[in-house]
Amino acid sequence: MKPNQRLIVALDFSSMGEVEQLVEHLGGSVNYYKVGMELYFSVGNRVLHYLQQQNKQVFLDLKLHDIPNTVARSLKSLTGLGAAMLNVHAFGGPAMLKAAAEAVAGEAERLRMEKPKLIAVTVLTSMDQTEWSSIGQTAELSGQVVNFARLAQAAGIDGVVASPQEAALIREACGNDFLIVTPGIRPQGSERNDQSRVATPHGALAAGASHLVIGRPVTAAADPRQAAERILAEMEGE
């Protein structure tokens, strides 16, 4: 894949005006966008329709986590919206993950559309080992991330969301065809903000990441297009 097929810019906004201004400014530099809860709960499907009209791919990042039947029924509704990627929480367990994978595949077949990629969130990149332990988890964080990845793969999930620090371990455990979508990407010289487990764009790809999710280093830059193009160059190792 080319770098602009692997870079996903996070639209961490709450209004269509902010979205349209950024997407127009970035133009052809960015082809893939993440729509998270803040934006989707604010403007709903309008943002998906707008991005599709601009010929952009969408990662609809709603992190579903509920009983298997509820997640399956929700994903049937979301599949038809045309997003290229959807996600659930691996914490939901094997039954929920299996129901989710079957629901997306079945609904895509019923609608005669290309199946969206379905990925599972492992451990949020805002967490470090200390915080992980504080919620009663005794296993090493990185080991549990790999366990979640194996669990997701066995359930028919296409990949995971994980920090770049675990990307190499997941790639070794799950093979070359498994998607590894990594937030917590910080270009050279960027602030960490609220992320704990981070890496540079080139470092994350070298470790085995398939896609990079990047928000503030682009969206909060003085010139977002220039920032995105620097990141694309960094992904190439330049």
Catalytic residue, candidates 66, 76, 115, 128? 66
The residue whose two tokens read 């599972």 is 120
In this predicted structure, what is the pLDDT of residue 189?
A: 55
C-beta neighbour count of 47 within 10 angstroms: 23
Average confidence (pLDDT) over 18-41: 97
Residue 200 pLDDT exceeds 90: no
The percent of residues above 70 in pLDDT, for the chain, comes to 95
Q: Are 58 and 30 in contact (CB under 8 A)?
A: no
Is 31 marked as a binding-site residue? no
pLDDT band at 140 (very low <50, low <70, confident <90, very high): confident
Q: Is 63 a catalytic residue?
A: yes
Is 66 a residue of the active site? Answer: yes
Q: What's the average model confidence in pLDDT over 3-23?
A: 96
The more confident residue out of 195 and 225 is 225
Stated pTM of the model = 0.92
**Residue 194: pLDDT above 60?**
no
Which pLDDT score, from 0 to 100, does residue 71 have?
Answer: 98
pLDDT tens profile 30-71:
999 999 999 999 999 999 999 999 999 999 999 999 999 999
**Spatial CB neighbours of 21, under 8 Å, sequence gap ≥ 6:** none
Dig out the tokens for 163 from the structure. Answer: 């920090």
* 159 labeled part of a ligand binding site: no
| Residue 226 annotated as part of some ligand binding site | no
More confident residue, 218 or 237: 218
Annotated catalytic residue, options 56, 63, 76, 115:
63
d(CA 128, CA 120): 19
- Kindly state the average pLDDT of the residues 139-164: 95
65 annotated as a binding-site residue: yes
104-131: per-residue pLDDT in tens?
Answer: 999 999 999 999 999 999 998 788 888 8
User: Which domains, and CATH codes, for the chain?
Assistant: 3-235 (3.20.20.70)
| Amino acid identity for residue 159 in this structure | G
Binding site annotation covers 170?
A: no
Which residue out of 2, 56, 61, 194 is catalytically annotated?
61
What pLDDT score does 238 carry? 46
